[in-house]
Structure 1
Amino acid sequence: MALELDGFAVLHRIGANRAVFEGISSEVAKVARSLLVKLLKDKRTGVDGVRAVRAALGAEPFALVVDGLTDAEIKSIAKRLDKHNPVLIDGDAATVRKLVGALADGSTEPASRPRAASRGSTKAPKSKKEPTAPKTIARISFKSAGATRGR
């Protein structure tokens, strides 16, 4: 029967006793960064989740993690967090990084979906015609109703 290891408790103890774990400090940094990147790239991590991560880490460590992301990674994260923002269409990676940072610290909210341009805006609006009363027919002929087909 395998025992489960509490990873959070182990990482907490490693962080509390840095002198003891000095030999693996570079590995700890790599693992911590990879875990944070994995969390940021997760589909289920929304804007509220990113804000919670930034609040837990602090501004500077979060900024270091975001700065370490590749251009493709930061753009995919930004598209997931704020898919209607026009910065994503023509913005460079630095602008997209600023957008993710602003979304994380709460200074920017995700952009709302743009409304589609209405079609036919160059045409004049149609005038509504007033309904007319139906014409009354004096007499209806049923002469053709009794027709028979000849063979």
Structure 2
Amino acid sequence: MKKSVKNISIFLGVSMLAFGTLKFINPFKLWYKTQVVTSELPFQQFSYWAGQLGEILSGLALIILVLFQKRIPKKSFYLGFTLINVSIAFMMLVAIYVHTHPDVPNDVLPLKIKPPFIPVLFMVLAILNSWLNKSKIKR
């Protein structure tokens, strides 16, 4: 694994795990619930849990893949790595939608600002991470 991929993966993994865990603790829990409700996401109960658990599980999985890369078969590693980065990019796409939704108040968003700087950064990092990890898998 390239050093850049390892660094991006650890940063994304720890950050996703932290942000997902924070959504269980007030005031973040209340802010997150307000974001889900006011952004009119479909299946709100599912969206609420999918966001939290998706961030926690993708963060943990990315950390585990980096730490135990040598013990995981290359094809399995590449598939898991790609799926995790795609799922992070998708979650950030939803976060961008939430940030830009006109009914979501600024005071329930990270940094208390409408522009989705954090979700865009994380989405770009996930895509870049996947692209940088172009693996030479033997078929």
Does the pair score TM above 0.5?
Answer: no
TM-score normalised by L of structure 1: 0.29
TM-score (norm 2): 0.30
Query: Whose relative contact order is higher, 1 or 2, with alpha carbons under 8 Å and at least 6 apart?
Result: 2
Between Structure 1 and Structure 2, the one with more helix by share is 2
Bigger radius of gyration: 1
